[in-house]
Amino acid sequence: MANFSSIHILFFMFITSGIVVSATVFTLQNNCPYTVWPGILSGNSNNLGDGGFPLTPGASVQLTSPPGWSGRFWARTGCNFDSTGRGSCVTGDCGGILKCTGSGVPPATLAEFTVGSSISDKDFYDVSLVDGYNVEMGITPQGGDGSGDCHYAGCVADINEICPNELRIMDPYNNGNVAACKSACAAFNSPEFCCTGAHATPDTCSPTQYSTMFKNACPSAYSYAYDDATSIFTCSGSNYLITFCPTRS
């Protein structure tokens, strides 16, 4: 396995059809006191980082996406993989393999991106708790066009500490500790929590006591399906630092 903490992939620019476009560099930094296994799912064929790898405490890795890339990053915890890359994780597991080819199993904190197709196009990004929560996560734009966008997005609160009993996922290897906090949709599978059926529009799906708990703890993170106004951020011409367990201010 390569030493990901020493990998540096340079930002580059190129010309296509006379339009300047740029690659976007994502830096994944692990500030947690334990190893995390980032899971990565790309919306196209460019699966960054081969879909996943271990990231030890204090380590970082840089991954470069092409223009127009979309996808998500999340932390897997409590993982154990053999030499063939087969195994399992307590949270965020993506089918028992090291290199994810699909979404992780909720609950997991997500960093979601849609990158612009040219340097002048806006990127869209958010930290989402819609699928629940497992670790703190933050997105910090680096650079950008200086237009007043490019704000920090994240969840720096430890929601596992305040997670209601009915949403808790316990850590089987750390007796008494909460490993993750499920969404109300995953826990109860009812339309008012999942924004489905008669509750499938912004007008009919309102915040619940559970999504409000997430929102109060992490005001800049998505708390439920229609929490758009305070949860989607934009930037252009930026790279992004994604931090697992960011420092609390």
Domain count, the chain: 1
Q: Is residue 46 part of a domain?
A: yes
**10 located within any domain:** yes
The verdict on residue 213 lying in a domain is: yes
pLDDT tops 60 at residue 89: yes
Q: How far is CA 130 from CA 140, 185, 225, in A?
A: 20, 9, 6
Upstream peptide bond of 172 is cis (omega within 30 degrees of 0): no
φ/ψ (deg, to 5) at 74: -150, 165
Task: Give residue 228's pLDDT band: very low, low, confident or very high (50, 70, 90).
Answer: confident
228 is a domain residue: yes
Domain presence at residue 90:
yes
Q: Which stretch of 17-31, 36-50, 68-82, 89-103 has the lowest confidence by average pLDDT?
A: 17-31
Using a pLDDT cut of 90, give the percent of the chain over it. Answer: 72
249 pLDDT exceeds 70?
A: no
> In which band, very low, low, confident or very high, does the pLDDT at 13 lie, cut at 50, 70 and 90?
very low
φ, ψ for residue 23, nearest 5 deg: -80, 155
- Side-chain half-sphere of 203: how many Cα atoms within 13 Å? 0
Q: Which domain holds residue 57?
A: 4-244
What pLDDT is recorded for position 147?
Answer: 67
| Contact yes or no for 36/135 (Cβ under 8 A) | yes
> Which residue type does 20 have?
V
**In sequence order, what are the beta bridge partners of 138?**
154, 243
Q: What is the pLDDT of residue 15?
A: 35
Q: What is the CATH number of the domain that holds 17?
A: 2.60.110.10
CB neighbour list of residue 82: distance below 8 Å, 6 or more residues apart: none
Q: What percent of the chain has pLDDT over 70?
A: 88
The answer as to whether 197 is a domain residue is yes
Q: What is the DSSP letter of 227?
A: -
DSSP string, 152-182: -EEE-S-GGGT--GGGEEE-TTSTT-EEEE-
Burial 111-136 (b: 16+ CB within 10 A, else e): bbbbbbeebebbbebbbbbbbbbbbb
Instruction: Evaluate if residue 20 carries a pLDDT over 60.
Output: no
194 Cβ contact list (under 8 Å, min separation 6): 185, 225
**Which uninterrupted H or E stretch holds 114?**
strand 110-114
Quote the pTM value: 0.87
Residue 182 lies in a domain: yes
Average pLDDT (136-159) is 88
Structure tokens at 232: 């989607």
Residue 249: inside a domain, yes or no? no
Mean of all residue pLDDT scores within the chain? 87
